[in-house]
Copies of this chain bind each other. A is one copy, B any other.
Amino acid sequence: MRPAIVLFGDSITQGSFRPGGWGAALADTYSRKADVVLRGYGGYNTRWALFLLHHIFPLDSSKPPVATTIFFGANDAALSGRLSERQHVPVDEYKENLKKIVHHLKKWSPTMLIVLITPPPVHVEGRDEYARSLYGESARELPERTNDVTGTYAQQCVQLADELGVRTIDVWSKMQETEGWQKKFLSDGLHLTPEGNAVVYQEVIRVFSEAWLCAEEMPYDFPHHSVIDGSNPKKAFEQRCI
């Protein structure tokens, strides 16, 4: 009965139901109104995400989600020739892959609210610290991501959204507007702190509400308890349930 909102992305989506996570906060906001469906795949880039596309979003299913967030790029932007190069996807291919995902979703449902989210910024020193905390002296010396390179992916993501006429959240730029974003929003130079999660949550809510998916304006799936008459409960349920 309830519409579905799908969160499709990498580890920053997969981890979004941890304490303070942006996915859990969305599920709470849309509680009794829409289901928030978690489709986050840690470590995935857009190239690998394409293998899942037809399975997660099967065109022959009659009930497409009303909205989908697409939140990749943090792994695509891993540098070639460095430790995480296995995850690297060239920026042109990243853009092309995102376009395929959007086209697939639009084919399924032309009315679906699609939100492209850029990768968050990268704090190289934070990544270094994290690597050393795990591997000590044997930690890799050269960074596997830089903020500038990730920025070019963010830019292409925003540009694509404009080209395709879908909505976008530029998390990369948004976070850097706040002083101290490096530690305030990022726990390990890449993944989000609760404060970083709050930024994503607020932006998603803003974009959803500016479109037409405003939780406050959506009806409850079933009557609010305050409208149920204790001596004649049947009445409140007549319209929807009997």
Residue positions of A touching B, CB distance < 8 A: 1, 14-15, 17-21, 23-25, 27-28, 31-32, 35, 37-38, 40-44, 47-48, 51-52, 54-55, 75, 85-88, 194, 222, 224-226, 228-230, 233-234, 237, 240-242
Additional A-B contact list (12), CB under 8 Å, known A27-B38, A32-B40, A51-B233? A14-B31, A21-B28, A24-B27, A31-B38, A32-B41, A43-B224, A48-B228, A48-B237, A55-B240, A75-B225, A86-B228, A88-B230
Q: Who on chain B is nearest to A37 by CB?
A: B35
The reply to whether A241 and B1 contact each other, CB–CB distance below 8 Å, is no
Minimum C-beta distance from A29 to chain B (A)? 9
Please give, as numbers and ranges, the residues of chain B lying within 8 Å of A230 by CB-CB distance.
85-88
Looking at the assembled complex, report how far the CB atom of A104 sits from the nearest CB atom of chain B, in whole angstroms.
14
How many copies of this protein are present in the complex? 2
Indicate which residue in B17, B35, B37, B225 contacts A24 across the interface (CB closer than 8 Å).
B17
Q: Among the listed B40, B47, B52, B225, which residue makes an inter-chain contact with A42, where contact means beta carbons less than 8 Å apart?
A: B225
For A241, give the chain B residue with the smallest CB separation: B51
Please measure, in the bound complex, the distance between the C-alpha atom of A229 and the C-alpha atom of B86, giving whole angstroms. 7
Q: Which residue of B lies closest to A85 (CB)?
A: B230
Would A48 and B225 count as touching, CB distance under 8 A? yes
Contact B55 A241 (CB under 8 A): yes
**Interface residue from B25, B54, B87 paired with A225 (Cβ < 8 Å):** B87
Q: Which residues of B contact A54 (CB under 8 A)?
A: 241
Determine the chain B residues whose CB is within 8 A of the CB of A51 once the complex forms. Answer: 222, 233-234, 237, 241-242
A58 to chain B, nearest CB (A): 9
A40-B31, A55-B1 are contacts. A19–B18 as well, Cβ < 8 Å? no
Q: Of residues A17, A20, A44, which shows the largest number of chain B Cβ atoms within 10 Å of its Cβ? A: A17
CB nearest neighbor in B for A229 = B86
